[in-house]
Structure 1
Protein backbone atom coordinates (compact mmCIF):
# COMPACT_ATOMS: atom_id res chain seq x y z
CA UNK A 1 0.00 0.00 0.00
CA UNK A 2 1.78 3.12 -1.27
CA UNK A 3 0.61 6.68 -0.56
CA UNK A 4 0.03 8.87 -3.60
CA UNK A 5 1.85 12.19 -4.14
CA UNK A 6 -0.93 13.90 -2.17
CA UNK A 7 -0.22 11.70 0.84
CA UNK A 8 -3.51 9.82 0.63
CA UNK A 9 -3.78 6.04 0.50
CA UNK A 10 -5.39 5.04 -2.83
CA UNK A 11 -6.19 1.48 -1.83
CA UNK A 12 -7.61 0.80 1.65
CA UNK A 13 -8.03 -2.93 1.05
CA UNK A 14 -4.79 -4.03 2.82
CA UNK A 15 -5.79 -2.11 5.95
CA UNK A 16 -9.32 -3.52 5.83
CA UNK A 17 -7.91 -7.03 5.36
CA UNK A 18 -5.57 -6.64 8.35
CA UNK A 19 -8.46 -5.38 10.48
CA UNK A 20 -10.62 -8.31 9.35
CA UNK A 21 -7.90 -10.81 10.24
CA UNK A 22 -7.36 -9.12 13.60
CA UNK A 23 -11.06 -9.36 14.41
CA UNK A 24 -11.21 -13.02 13.37
CA UNK A 25 -8.16 -13.87 15.49
CA UNK A 26 -9.58 -12.12 18.55
CA UNK A 27 -12.80 -14.09 18.14
CA UNK A 28 -10.79 -17.30 17.78
CA UNK A 29 -8.74 -16.60 20.92
CA UNK A 30 -11.82 -15.89 23.01
CA UNK A 31 -13.57 -19.02 21.79
CA UNK A 32 -10.43 -21.11 22.27
CA UNK A 33 -10.39 -20.40 26.02
CA UNK A 34 -14.12 -20.94 26.50
CA UNK A 35 -14.95 -23.86 24.19
CA UNK A 36 -16.08 -27.16 25.68
CA UNK A 37 -16.12 -29.21 22.47
CA UNK A 38 -14.55 -32.67 22.36
CA UNK A 39 -10.77 -33.09 22.10
CA UNK A 40 -11.07 -34.35 18.51
CA UNK A 41 -12.73 -31.07 17.51
CA UNK A 42 -10.04 -29.07 19.25
CA UNK A 43 -7.31 -30.98 17.38
CA UNK A 44 -9.10 -30.49 14.06
CA UNK A 45 -9.34 -26.77 14.74
CA UNK A 46 -5.63 -26.66 15.63
CA UNK A 47 -4.79 -28.18 12.24
CA UNK A 48 -6.87 -25.54 10.46
CA UNK A 49 -5.04 -22.82 12.36
CA UNK A 50 -1.68 -24.34 11.34
CA UNK A 51 -2.77 -24.31 7.71
CA UNK A 52 -3.71 -20.64 7.97
CA UNK A 53 -0.38 -19.90 9.61
CA UNK A 54 1.47 -21.53 6.72
CA UNK A 55 -0.40 -19.37 4.21
CA UNK A 56 0.48 -16.16 6.04
CA UNK A 57 4.11 -17.12 6.68
CA UNK A 58 5.18 -17.18 3.03
CA UNK A 59 6.05 -13.46 3.19
CA UNK A 60 7.05 -11.76 6.43
CA UNK A 61 8.81 -8.60 7.56
CA UNK A 62 11.61 -8.48 10.11
CA UNK A 63 11.23 -6.92 13.55
CA UNK A 64 13.29 -3.90 12.47
CA UNK A 65 11.06 -3.23 9.45
CA UNK A 66 7.98 -1.08 9.93
CA UNK A 67 4.69 -2.50 8.60
CA UNK A 68 3.55 -0.93 5.34
CA UNK A 69 0.24 -0.13 7.05
CA UNK A 70 1.80 1.95 9.83
CA UNK A 71 2.15 5.71 9.70
CA UNK A 72 4.30 7.07 12.52
CA UNK A 73 3.58 10.68 11.53
CA UNK A 74 -0.09 10.23 12.47
CA UNK A 75 0.46 7.63 15.20
CA UNK A 76 -1.19 4.78 13.29
CA UNK A 77 0.23 1.49 14.61
CA UNK A 78 -1.92 -1.26 13.10
CA UNK A 79 -0.36 -4.10 15.11
CA UNK A 80 0.08 -2.38 18.47
CA UNK A 81 -0.90 -4.98 21.14
CA UNK A 82 -3.28 -2.56 22.86
CA UNK A 83 -4.75 -0.31 20.18
CA UNK A 84 -3.91 -2.06 16.91
CA UNK A 85 -6.92 -3.07 14.83
CA UNK A 86 -4.79 -5.76 13.19
CA UNK A 87 -3.48 -7.26 16.43
CA UNK A 88 -4.97 -10.43 17.86
CA UNK A 89 -3.70 -9.34 21.29
CA UNK A 90 -5.44 -5.95 21.34
CA UNK A 91 -9.07 -5.49 22.49
CA UNK A 92 -8.49 -3.06 20.57
CA UNK A 93 -8.58 0.14 22.63
CA UNK A 94 -9.83 3.32 20.90
CA UNK A 95 -8.25 6.31 22.65
CA UNK A 96 -9.85 9.75 22.41
CA UNK A 97 -9.28 13.21 23.85
CA UNK A 98 -11.15 13.89 27.07
CA UNK A 99 -10.81 17.37 28.54
CA UNK A 100 -7.15 17.85 29.49
CA UNK A 101 -6.32 14.18 28.96
CA UNK A 102 -7.41 11.06 27.11
CA UNK A 103 -9.98 8.35 27.71
CA UNK A 104 -11.08 4.96 26.42
CA UNK A 105 -13.64 2.28 27.17
CA UNK A 106 -13.15 -1.43 26.79
CA UNK A 107 -14.88 -4.70 27.68
CA UNK A 108 -12.47 -7.59 28.22
CA UNK A 109 -13.40 -11.22 27.67
CA UNK A 110 -12.16 -14.41 29.30
CA UNK A 111 -8.96 -14.37 27.22
CA UNK A 112 -7.75 -11.61 29.57
CA UNK A 113 -8.55 -13.54 32.75
CA UNK A 114 -6.24 -13.70 35.77
CA UNK A 115 -8.11 -14.56 38.98
CA UNK A 116 -11.30 -16.45 38.00
CA UNK A 117 -13.82 -13.99 36.49
CA UNK A 118 -11.44 -11.01 36.84
CA UNK A 119 -8.92 -9.30 34.55
CA UNK A 120 -5.25 -10.31 34.90
CA UNK A 121 -3.39 -7.58 36.78
CA UNK A 122 -0.65 -7.47 34.18
CA UNK A 123 -3.23 -6.39 31.60
CA UNK A 124 -4.03 -3.34 33.72
CA UNK A 125 -0.35 -2.39 33.59
CA UNK A 126 -0.23 -2.90 29.81
CA UNK A 127 -3.32 -0.78 29.18
CA UNK A 128 -2.23 1.95 31.59
CA UNK A 129 1.23 2.15 30.04
CA UNK A 130 -0.39 2.64 26.65
CA UNK A 131 -2.92 5.21 27.84
CA UNK A 132 -0.32 7.21 29.74
CA UNK A 133 1.80 7.34 26.60
CA UNK A 134 -1.22 8.44 24.60
CA UNK A 135 -1.87 11.23 27.12
CA UNK A 136 1.69 12.44 26.61
CA UNK A 137 1.26 12.38 22.83
CA UNK A 138 -2.05 14.25 23.06
CA UNK A 139 -0.27 16.97 25.07
CA UNK A 140 2.42 17.32 22.43
CA UNK A 141 4.98 15.44 24.50
CA UNK A 142 6.66 12.10 24.00
CA UNK A 143 9.01 9.77 25.73
CA UNK A 144 9.67 6.21 26.77
CA UNK A 145 8.46 4.65 29.99
CA UNK A 146 11.10 5.06 32.69
CA UNK A 147 8.91 4.15 35.67
CA UNK A 148 5.40 2.77 36.02
CA UNK A 149 3.59 2.04 39.27
CA UNK A 150 0.05 0.80 39.87
CA UNK A 151 -2.16 0.63 42.92
CA UNK A 152 -4.80 -2.09 42.66
CA UNK A 153 -7.76 -0.97 44.77
CA UNK A 154 -10.14 -3.66 43.53
CA UNK A 155 -10.30 -6.39 40.86
CA UNK A 156 -11.56 -5.56 37.38
CA UNK A 157 -14.45 -7.82 36.37
CA UNK A 158 -14.49 -9.53 33.00
CA UNK A 159 -17.26 -8.77 30.50
CA UNK A 160 -18.05 -5.40 32.10
CA UNK A 161 -17.32 -2.11 30.35
CA UNK A 162 -14.29 -0.41 31.87
CA UNK A 163 -13.46 3.30 31.71
CA UNK A 164 -9.79 4.31 31.40
CA UNK A 165 -8.50 7.85 31.88
CA UNK A 166 -5.06 9.51 31.79
CA UNK A 167 -3.60 13.01 31.87
CA UNK A 168 -0.25 14.75 32.17
CA UNK A 169 0.35 15.79 35.78
CA UNK A 170 3.82 17.35 35.43
CA UNK A 171 6.20 18.20 32.62
CA UNK A 172 9.75 19.58 32.83
CA UNK A 173 12.58 19.24 30.36
CA UNK A 174 12.87 15.71 29.04
CA UNK A 175 10.63 14.22 31.75
CA UNK A 176 6.88 14.16 32.27
CA UNK A 177 4.72 12.53 34.93
CA UNK A 178 1.38 11.09 33.84
CA UNK A 179 -1.42 9.66 35.95
CA UNK A 180 -4.25 7.34 35.01
CA UNK A 181 -7.15 5.33 36.36
CA UNK A 182 -9.40 2.40 35.52
CA UNK A 183 -12.97 2.14 36.82
CA UNK A 184 -16.24 0.54 35.82
CA UNK A 185 -17.91 2.63 33.14
CA UNK A 186 -21.18 2.60 35.10
CA UNK A 187 -19.41 3.57 38.35
CA UNK A 188 -16.60 5.89 37.20
CA UNK A 189 -16.02 7.53 40.60
CA UNK A 190 -14.98 4.25 42.25
CA UNK A 191 -11.38 3.86 41.11
CA UNK A 192 -10.24 0.24 40.86
CA UNK A 193 -6.76 0.79 39.43
CA UNK A 194 -4.61 3.90 39.77
CA UNK A 195 -1.41 4.42 37.79
CA UNK A 196 1.50 6.85 37.76
CA UNK A 197 4.18 6.83 35.10
CA UNK A 198 7.38 8.74 34.43
CA UNK A 199 8.17 9.16 30.74
CA UNK A 200 11.58 10.40 29.61
CA UNK A 201 12.60 11.61 26.17
CA UNK A 202 15.85 9.79 25.29
CA UNK A 203 18.89 11.83 24.40
CA UNK A 204 19.74 11.88 20.64
CA UNK A 205 22.51 9.31 21.02
CA UNK A 206 20.10 6.95 22.77
CA UNK A 207 17.49 7.41 20.04
CA UNK A 208 20.13 6.48 17.48
CA UNK A 209 21.19 3.43 19.49
CA UNK A 210 17.62 2.23 20.03
CA UNK A 211 16.11 2.93 16.62
CA UNK A 212 18.99 3.42 14.19
CA UNK A 213 18.37 0.08 12.45
CA UNK A 214 14.67 0.70 11.74
CA UNK A 215 13.62 0.70 8.08
CA UNK A 216 10.37 1.40 6.30
CA UNK A 217 8.40 -1.32 4.53
CA UNK A 218 10.63 -1.08 1.44
CA UNK A 219 13.83 -1.60 3.44
CA UNK A 220 14.89 2.06 3.27
CA UNK A 221 16.63 3.34 6.41
CA UNK A 222 13.95 5.31 8.23
CA UNK A 223 14.45 5.69 11.99
CA UNK A 224 11.45 7.47 13.53
CA UNK A 225 12.12 11.04 14.59
CA UNK A 226 9.79 10.81 17.59
CA UNK A 227 9.70 7.11 18.49
CA UNK A 228 6.88 6.26 20.87
CA UNK A 229 4.43 3.50 21.70
CA UNK A 230 1.65 6.09 21.85
CA UNK A 231 -0.83 5.65 19.01
CA UNK A 232 -3.38 7.84 17.31
CA UNK A 233 -5.76 9.76 19.54
CA UNK A 234 -9.24 10.61 18.29
CA UNK A 235 -9.36 14.41 18.34
CA UNK A 236 -13.10 14.54 19.04
CA UNK A 237 -14.05 15.34 22.63
Structure 2
Protein backbone atom coordinates (compact mmCIF):
# COMPACT_ATOMS: atom_id res chain seq x y z
CA UNK A 1 0.00 0.00 0.00
CA UNK A 2 1.37 3.39 -0.96
CA UNK A 3 1.29 5.78 2.00
CA UNK A 4 1.96 8.75 -0.26
CA UNK A 5 -0.96 8.33 -2.61
CA UNK A 6 -3.35 6.69 -0.15
CA UNK A 7 -4.14 3.72 -2.39
CA UNK A 8 -2.52 0.63 -3.88
CA UNK A 9 -1.11 1.80 -7.25
CA UNK A 10 -1.04 -1.75 -8.63
CA UNK A 11 -4.73 -2.21 -7.85
CA UNK A 12 -5.56 1.21 -9.30
CA UNK A 13 -3.70 0.34 -12.50
CA UNK A 14 -5.55 -2.98 -12.76
CA UNK A 15 -8.96 -1.39 -12.14
CA UNK A 16 -8.19 1.29 -14.72
CA UNK A 17 -7.07 -1.31 -17.26
CA UNK A 18 -10.25 -3.34 -16.72
CA UNK A 19 -12.37 -0.19 -16.99
CA UNK A 20 -10.70 0.72 -20.29
CA UNK A 21 -11.29 -2.80 -21.63
CA UNK A 22 -14.93 -2.82 -20.55
CA UNK A 23 -15.60 0.58 -22.08
CA UNK A 24 -14.08 -0.70 -25.31
CA UNK A 25 -16.33 -3.77 -25.14
CA UNK A 26 -19.45 -1.67 -24.54
CA UNK A 27 -18.56 0.60 -27.45
CA UNK A 28 -17.90 -2.39 -29.74
CA UNK A 29 -21.16 -4.06 -28.67
CA UNK A 30 -23.29 -1.17 -29.96
CA UNK A 31 -21.30 -0.71 -33.18
CA UNK A 32 -20.80 -4.33 -34.25
CA UNK A 33 -22.59 -5.98 -37.15
CA UNK A 34 -21.11 -9.46 -36.71
CA UNK A 35 -23.34 -12.54 -37.24
CA UNK A 36 -25.58 -13.98 -34.46
CA UNK A 37 -23.21 -16.89 -33.81
CA UNK A 38 -20.37 -14.50 -32.98
CA UNK A 39 -22.65 -12.51 -30.68
CA UNK A 40 -23.65 -15.69 -28.84
CA UNK A 41 -20.00 -16.74 -28.40
CA UNK A 42 -19.08 -13.33 -26.97
CA UNK A 43 -22.12 -13.42 -24.66
CA UNK A 44 -21.03 -16.81 -23.28
CA UNK A 45 -17.52 -15.48 -22.66
CA UNK A 46 -18.92 -12.37 -20.96
CA UNK A 47 -20.98 -14.53 -18.59
CA UNK A 48 -17.90 -16.57 -17.70
CA UNK A 49 -15.92 -13.40 -16.94
CA UNK A 50 -18.77 -12.02 -14.81
CA UNK A 51 -18.74 -15.23 -12.76
CA UNK A 52 -15.00 -14.77 -12.10
CA UNK A 53 -15.51 -11.19 -10.92
CA UNK A 54 -18.40 -12.18 -8.64
CA UNK A 55 -16.07 -14.47 -6.67
CA UNK A 56 -15.48 -11.50 -4.32
CA UNK A 57 -17.95 -8.63 -4.12
CA UNK A 58 -18.94 -5.78 -1.79
CA UNK A 59 -22.28 -4.74 -0.32
CA UNK A 60 -24.15 -1.55 -1.22
CA UNK A 61 -22.96 0.41 1.83
CA UNK A 62 -19.35 -0.78 1.59
CA UNK A 63 -16.96 1.60 -0.13
CA UNK A 64 -14.51 0.20 -2.73
CA UNK A 65 -10.98 -0.06 -1.33
CA UNK A 66 -9.71 2.57 -3.80
CA UNK A 67 -12.39 5.15 -2.95
CA UNK A 68 -11.84 8.16 -0.70
CA UNK A 69 -15.00 10.31 -0.56
CA UNK A 70 -13.28 13.06 1.42
CA UNK A 71 -10.64 13.36 -1.31
CA UNK A 72 -13.45 12.98 -3.91
CA UNK A 73 -11.87 9.84 -5.37
CA UNK A 74 -14.67 7.58 -6.68
CA UNK A 75 -13.24 5.02 -9.09
CA UNK A 76 -16.61 3.58 -10.16
CA UNK A 77 -18.52 6.83 -10.67
CA UNK A 78 -20.74 6.51 -13.79
CA UNK A 79 -19.36 9.85 -15.00
CA UNK A 80 -15.73 10.10 -13.87
CA UNK A 81 -14.83 6.61 -12.66
CA UNK A 82 -11.79 5.05 -14.33
CA UNK A 83 -13.10 1.62 -13.33
CA UNK A 84 -16.64 2.13 -14.63
CA UNK A 85 -17.74 0.46 -17.87
CA UNK A 86 -20.41 3.14 -18.42
CA UNK A 87 -18.41 6.30 -17.61
CA UNK A 88 -16.94 8.30 -20.55
CA UNK A 89 -15.00 9.02 -18.19
CA UNK A 90 -14.86 12.78 -17.83
CA UNK A 91 -11.60 14.40 -16.70
CA UNK A 92 -12.75 17.55 -14.92
CA UNK A 93 -10.27 20.34 -14.24
CA UNK A 94 -10.20 23.99 -13.21
CA UNK A 95 -11.35 26.26 -16.04
CA UNK A 96 -8.61 28.60 -17.27
CA UNK A 97 -11.28 30.83 -18.82
CA UNK A 98 -13.46 31.27 -15.74
CA UNK A 99 -14.01 30.55 -12.05
CA UNK A 100 -15.54 27.12 -12.50
CA UNK A 101 -14.56 23.76 -14.00
CA UNK A 102 -14.33 22.38 -17.53
CA UNK A 103 -14.11 19.02 -19.29
CA UNK A 104 -13.78 17.92 -22.89
CA UNK A 105 -15.22 14.69 -24.24
CA UNK A 106 -16.54 12.85 -27.28
CA UNK A 107 -19.46 10.52 -26.62
CA UNK A 108 -19.87 7.23 -28.47
CA UNK A 109 -22.92 5.36 -29.74
CA UNK A 110 -23.51 3.74 -26.33
CA UNK A 111 -24.88 7.13 -25.22
CA UNK A 112 -27.22 7.58 -28.19
CA UNK A 113 -30.73 8.98 -27.87
CA UNK A 114 -32.00 10.40 -31.17
CA UNK A 115 -30.04 8.75 -34.00
CA UNK A 116 -26.55 10.26 -34.07
CA UNK A 117 -27.07 12.44 -30.99
CA UNK A 118 -26.52 12.23 -27.23
CA UNK A 119 -29.41 11.01 -25.09
CA UNK A 120 -30.92 13.97 -23.23
CA UNK A 121 -30.79 12.09 -19.94
CA UNK A 122 -27.05 11.67 -20.36
CA UNK A 123 -26.73 15.46 -20.53
CA UNK A 124 -28.42 15.62 -17.14
CA UNK A 125 -26.13 12.97 -15.63
CA UNK A 126 -22.98 14.61 -16.97
CA UNK A 127 -23.93 18.12 -15.95
CA UNK A 128 -25.08 17.09 -12.48
CA UNK A 129 -21.52 15.85 -11.95
CA UNK A 130 -20.03 19.01 -13.47
CA UNK A 131 -22.12 21.32 -11.28
CA UNK A 132 -21.33 19.29 -8.17
CA UNK A 133 -17.61 19.39 -8.86
CA UNK A 134 -17.72 23.15 -9.46
CA UNK A 135 -19.51 23.59 -6.12
CA UNK A 136 -16.85 21.51 -4.36
CA UNK A 137 -14.06 23.56 -5.93
CA UNK A 138 -15.72 26.67 -4.48
CA UNK A 139 -15.94 25.05 -1.04
CA UNK A 140 -19.72 24.66 -1.38
CA UNK A 141 -20.31 20.91 -1.24
CA UNK A 142 -23.95 19.89 -1.35
CA UNK A 143 -26.40 17.37 -2.74
CA UNK A 144 -28.55 18.04 -5.80
CA UNK A 145 -31.90 19.58 -4.85
CA UNK A 146 -32.89 20.89 -8.29
CA UNK A 147 -31.54 20.41 -11.81
CA UNK A 148 -32.92 22.07 -14.95
CA UNK A 149 -31.74 21.71 -18.54
CA UNK A 150 -32.65 23.88 -21.51
CA UNK A 151 -31.97 21.93 -24.70
CA UNK A 152 -31.15 24.46 -27.40
CA UNK A 153 -29.80 21.92 -29.87
CA UNK A 154 -28.85 18.24 -30.05
CA UNK A 155 -25.36 17.18 -28.95
CA UNK A 156 -23.73 15.15 -31.77
CA UNK A 157 -22.00 11.86 -31.00
CA UNK A 158 -18.39 11.10 -31.94
CA UNK A 159 -17.76 14.86 -31.90
CA UNK A 160 -15.59 16.80 -29.40
CA UNK A 161 -17.67 18.86 -26.97
CA UNK A 162 -16.82 21.08 -24.02
CA UNK A 163 -18.71 21.04 -20.70
CA UNK A 164 -18.49 23.91 -18.21
CA UNK A 165 -19.92 24.61 -14.75
CA UNK A 166 -19.62 27.40 -12.19
CA UNK A 167 -21.17 28.87 -9.03
CA UNK A 168 -23.85 31.46 -9.81
CA UNK A 169 -25.02 32.36 -6.30
CA UNK A 170 -24.41 31.39 -2.66
CA UNK A 171 -26.94 31.62 0.17
CA UNK A 172 -26.55 29.73 3.44
CA UNK A 173 -26.59 26.00 2.79
CA UNK A 174 -27.89 26.56 -0.76
CA UNK A 175 -25.67 27.06 -3.81
CA UNK A 176 -27.09 27.96 -7.21
CA UNK A 177 -25.04 26.56 -10.08
CA UNK A 178 -24.88 27.14 -13.83
CA UNK A 179 -23.31 25.26 -16.71
CA UNK A 180 -23.35 24.43 -20.39
CA UNK A 181 -22.48 21.96 -23.13
CA UNK A 182 -21.17 23.23 -26.47
CA UNK A 183 -19.19 22.00 -29.44
CA UNK A 184 -15.45 22.28 -28.84
CA UNK A 185 -15.16 23.80 -32.32
CA UNK A 186 -17.87 26.40 -31.56
CA UNK A 187 -17.85 26.96 -27.77
CA UNK A 188 -19.93 30.14 -27.90
CA UNK A 189 -22.95 28.34 -29.37
CA UNK A 190 -24.57 26.65 -26.37
CA UNK A 191 -26.34 23.38 -27.08
CA UNK A 192 -27.45 22.65 -23.51
CA UNK A 193 -27.84 25.29 -20.79
CA UNK A 194 -28.00 24.01 -17.22
CA UNK A 195 -28.92 25.38 -13.81
CA UNK A 196 -29.07 23.65 -10.48
CA UNK A 197 -29.41 24.08 -6.74
CA UNK A 198 -27.18 22.16 -4.33
CA UNK A 199 -27.93 22.02 -0.61
CA UNK A 200 -25.48 21.02 2.13
CA UNK A 201 -27.37 18.50 4.32
CA UNK A 202 -27.82 19.12 8.03
CA UNK A 203 -25.89 16.81 10.36
CA UNK A 204 -28.99 14.70 11.12
CA UNK A 205 -29.60 14.22 7.41
CA UNK A 206 -25.98 13.21 6.82
CA UNK A 207 -26.33 10.57 9.54
CA UNK A 208 -29.59 9.29 8.04
CA UNK A 209 -28.21 9.14 4.51
CA UNK A 210 -24.73 7.78 5.14
CA UNK A 211 -24.74 6.32 8.64
CA UNK A 212 -24.52 2.73 7.37
CA UNK A 213 -21.48 3.32 5.16
CA UNK A 214 -18.37 1.26 5.94
CA UNK A 215 -14.88 1.30 4.51
CA UNK A 216 -13.58 -1.55 2.38
CA UNK A 217 -12.60 -3.60 5.45
CA UNK A 218 -16.13 -3.40 6.85
CA UNK A 219 -15.30 -0.89 9.58
CA UNK A 220 -18.12 1.55 10.32
CA UNK A 221 -16.76 4.80 8.94
CA UNK A 222 -19.47 7.01 7.48
CA UNK A 223 -17.97 9.89 5.50
CA UNK A 224 -18.71 13.36 6.80
CA UNK A 225 -18.95 14.64 3.26
CA UNK A 226 -20.06 11.75 1.08
CA UNK A 227 -20.17 12.65 -2.58
CA UNK A 228 -19.94 11.21 -6.06
CA UNK A 229 -17.68 14.02 -7.22
CA UNK A 230 -14.10 13.56 -8.30
CA UNK A 231 -10.85 15.33 -7.64
CA UNK A 232 -9.90 17.90 -10.23
CA UNK A 233 -7.24 16.91 -12.71
CA UNK A 234 -4.40 19.37 -12.47
CA UNK A 235 -2.81 18.44 -15.79
CA UNK A 236 -3.91 20.62 -18.72
Deviation for aligned residue 1:235? 3.9
Is the 2:161–2:184 Cα contact (8 Å) retained in structure 1? Answer: yes
The aligned residue for residue 38 of structure 1 is: 35
Q: Distance in 2 between matches of 1:26 and 1:234?
A: 21
Give secondary structure in 2 for the equivalent of 1:111.
Answer: helix
Q: Determine whether 1:61 maps to 2:81.
A: no
Question: Taking structure 1 as reference, are residues 44 and 135 closer, same or farther at Cα in structure 2, changes over 3 Å only?
Answer: same
The aligned residue for residue 158 of structure 1 is: 157
Q: Determine whether 1:105 maps to 2:104.
A: yes
Question: Taking structure 1 as reference, are residues 177 and 9 closer, same or farther at Cα in structure 2, changes over 3 Å only?
Answer: closer
The aligned residue for residue 118 of structure 1 is: 117
The aligned residue for residue 140 of structure 2 is: 141
The aligned residue for residue 18 of structure 1 is: 15
Is the 1:180–1:196 Cα contact (8 Å) retained in structure 2? Answer: yes
Deviations 1:20-51 (A, max 9, x none): 11111111011101111100000000000001
Give secondary structure in 2 for the equivalent of 1:50.
Answer: helix
Matches within 5 A, 1:1-237: 2-4=1-3, 7-9=4-6, 11-98=8-95, 99-235=98-234
Aligned residues: 234
Is the 2:7–2:66 Cα contact (8 Å) retained in structure 1? Answer: no
Q: Distance in 1 between matches of 2:112 and 2:7?
A: 40
Deviations 1:147-181 (A, max 9, x none): 00000000000000010000000011100000000
Q: Distance in 2 between matches of 1:31 and 1:200?
A: 39
Give secondary structure in 2 for the equivalent of 1:33.
Answer: helix
Q: Distance in 1 between matches of 2:120 and 2:64?
A: 30
* Unpaired stretches in structure 2, ≥5 consecutive residues: none
Deviation for aligned residue 1:3? 4.8
**RMSD (CA atoms):** 1.2
Is the 2:134–2:166 Cα contact (8 Å) retained in structure 1? Answer: yes
Deviation for aligned residue 1:96? 0.2
Write out the 4+ residue segments of structure 1 that deviate beyond 6 Å after TM superposition: none
Give the TM-score, by structure 2 length. Answer: 0.96
Deviation for aligned residue 1:10? 7.1
* Unpaired stretches in structure 1, ≥5 consecutive residues: none
